Amino acid sequence: MSWESIIPNVLAGDSQSLAGTAPVAAMDNEQFAAFYARSARSLWAYLARVSRDPGLADDLTQEAYVRFLCAAHPQDGEVAARRYLFKIATNLLRDHWRRPQSSSIDDVPEHTFAAASGETHSDSVAILGPAMAQMRPRDRQLLWLAYAEGYSHHEIAQITGLASASIRLLLFRARRKMARLLRSGGEA
């Protein structure tokens, strides 16, 4: 007896026949491919810049999309879907940091990432790497979401799980510190 005979289409991945087992996917293959093409690079940039580890960003980007497809993601448009994707990625990053590691994420030398990125195009961007290295991971997350992705405080609260009221203060402090680091050439 096979699973196919017990549950029709289970091996065909038909989520419609598995109500309550797997969430209904709103996207078909082509829709997902288009969404992936529009969002994957910015998600990778977020993960790479916040974690300062391009290899980890590769892994977490893939995992975030797989979880996104397996979960019951928001049906109200691409903006909400994108925000949900960033939330998954943020949780994956947090889980990664919580796991015991042989070396801290903050021990990863910034030049590894800078060398890979070839960021010599702009002075401020060249300085951004060392400056980011001196920020706490949470501050890096907040700064990237606010100033690279342009999310509002409310959206950042949804993505990070922090209280909306505290985002303003945390972001203000992080921005002030980052500006000071950028003006001083990335040195503390």
Handedness of CA 48, 99, 62, 66 (dihedral sign): negative
Is 102 or 145 the residue whose CB approaches another protein more closely? 145
Where do contacts with another protein occur on this chain (CB under 8 A)? 3, 6-7, 10-11, 13, 15, 18, 21-22, 29, 32-33, 36-37, 40-42, 44-45, 48-49, 54, 57-58, 61-62, 65-66, 68-70, 116-117, 119, 121-122, 124-125, 127-128, 143-144, 147-150, 168-169, 172, 175-176, 178-179, 182-183
Residue 153's closest CA among 141, 144, 166? 166
Among residues 100 and 143, whose Cβ is nearest to another protein?
143
Q: How far is the CB of 130 from another protein (least distance, A)?
A: 12
Cα–Cα distance measured from residue 107 to residue 103, given in angstroms and rounded to the nearest whole number: 6
Torsion 128-80-31-12 (CA) sign: positive
Supply the minimum distance, in Å, between the C-beta of residue 150 and another protein.
Answer: 5
